[in-house]
């Protein structure tokens, strides 16, 4: 890990690192907030996955999460949303919802994406192994995210419940096999095999596998993407079908922006802190 920049923040440290990723076959940057309690010993971590067009800096600079994370003694680990750099494939038309900034947290199987786009493996295995070896992290993990990142957080938790103690999301893409964003990304990265798509669909996974982890989801009712792209009703129906512990909160007047995230991030951090034992 190479240090890129570091700032003092609420008694802790906001840090940006760079490293060579074996999973993604490129150089990656990610951000970490270490609370002041990390000076005395290892602390648990919340992994945050950002949405379309974002990098590791959106959450760290816009969500206002560090104050509460410092109070709770909770580290924040914030990866980028896709591989980057020379030779990494991108959408030929420069679309925002495919390629750079739009990795969708899957392991791509189709060329040219399969050379680099393996964000699922990166977030699940490579990044935790790296930061937990190099930083004062206890190995206790929770996961959260926004939009595409909410989809990623829920999929990772549902498929690997032993790796996390809790999961939450803001405006997640809840049923990507049945929305335009999902059709575009999943068909490009995974081909036309709908069974492969289902392995990255939160609602289908929850209905098929259930979930023993506590789940918290916030959705703004004034979100422009709510009806066509996000479909929280599919997630709610799946949770009811299997009796999963899902708290789905519809927030009147809130949109898809970081103003929405900043308004409720304290609730999510406290939710995860309870389950992490902070």
Give the Cα separation of 152 and 170 in Å (integer): 11
Burial (CB count <10 Å: 0-12, 13-18, 19+), residue 56: buried
User: Reduced to 3 states, what is the DSSP secondary structure of residue 98?
Assistant: coil
What pLDDT score was predicted for residue 9? 98
Q: DSSP of 30-52, one letter per residue?
A: EEEEE-GGGGTS-EEEEEEE--T
Q: What is the pLDDT of residues 119-141, one digit of tens each?
A: 999 999 999 999 999 999 999 99
Q: Which residues are designated catalytic?
A: 147, 223, 256
Domain 2-276: CATH class, spelled out: alpha beta
Contact 79/45 with Cβ under 8 angstroms?
A: no
Ordered DSSP codes for 195-214:
HHHHTT-HHHHHHHH---S-
pLDDT tens track for 188-247: 999 999 999 999 999 999 999 999 899 999 999 999 999 999 999 999 999 999 999 999
At residue 130, the pLDDT reads: 98
Distance in angstroms (rounded) separating the CA atoms of residues 148 and 95:
15
Q: What is the pLDDT of residue 82?
A: 97
Measured between alpha carbons, how far is 230 from 138 in angstroms, rounded to an integer?
A: 34
Helix (H) or strand (E) holding 233, with range, is helix 232-242
Neighbouring residues of 219: CB distance < 8 A, sequence distance ≥ 6: 170, 171, 226, 230, 232, 248, 249, 250, 251
Q: Which of 82, 69, 95 is nearest to 30 (CA)?
A: 82
Report the C-alpha gap between 158 and 252 in whole angstroms: 28
pTM (whole model) above 0.95: yes
Residue ranges per domain, the chain? 2-276
Peptide bond before 112: cis, by omega within 30 degrees of 0? yes
Per-run averaged pLDDT (10 residues), the chain, 278 residues? 97 98 97 98 98 97 97 98 96 95 98 97 98 97 98 98 98 98 97 96 96 96 98 96 95 98 98 95
What's residue 157's pLDDT? 97
Q: pLDDT value at position 278? A: 87
Would you state the pLDDT for residue 244? 93
């Amino acid at each position: 890990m190479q240090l890129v920049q570091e700032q003092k923040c609420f008694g802790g440290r906001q840090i940006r690192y760079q490293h060579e990723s074996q999973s993604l076959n490129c150089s990656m940057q990610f951000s970490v907030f270490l609370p002041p309690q990390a000076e005395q010993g290892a602390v648990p971590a919340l992994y945050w996955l950002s949405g379309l067009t974002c990098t590791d800096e959106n959450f760290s600079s816009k969500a206002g999460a560090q104050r509460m994370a410092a109070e709770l003694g909770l580290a924040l680990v914030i990866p980028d949303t896709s591989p980057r750099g020379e030779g990494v494939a991108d959408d030929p038309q420069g679309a925002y919802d495919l390629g750079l900034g739009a990795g969708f947290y899957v392991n791509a199987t189709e060329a040219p994406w399969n050379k680099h786009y393996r964000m699922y493996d990166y977030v699940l295995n490579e990044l935790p192994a790296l930061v937990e070896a190099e930083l004062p992290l206890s190995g206790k993990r929770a996961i959260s995210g926004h939009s595409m990142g909410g989809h990623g957080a829920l999929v990772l938790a549902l498929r690997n419940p032993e790796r996390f103690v809790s999961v939450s999301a803001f405006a997640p893409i809840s049923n990507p096999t049945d929305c335009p964003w999902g059709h575009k990304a999943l068909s490009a990265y995974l081909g036309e095999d709908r069974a492969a798509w289902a392995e990255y669909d939160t609602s289908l996974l929850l209905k098929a596998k259930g979930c023993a982890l506590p789940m918290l989801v916030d959705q703004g009712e004034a979100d422009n993407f709510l009806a066509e792209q996000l479909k929280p009703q599919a997630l709610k129906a799946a949770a009811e079908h299997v009796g999963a512990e899902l708290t789905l909160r519809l927030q009147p007047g809130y949109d898809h922006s970081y103003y929405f995230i900043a308004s409720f991030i304290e609730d999510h951090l406290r939710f995860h802190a309870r389950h992490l034992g902070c």
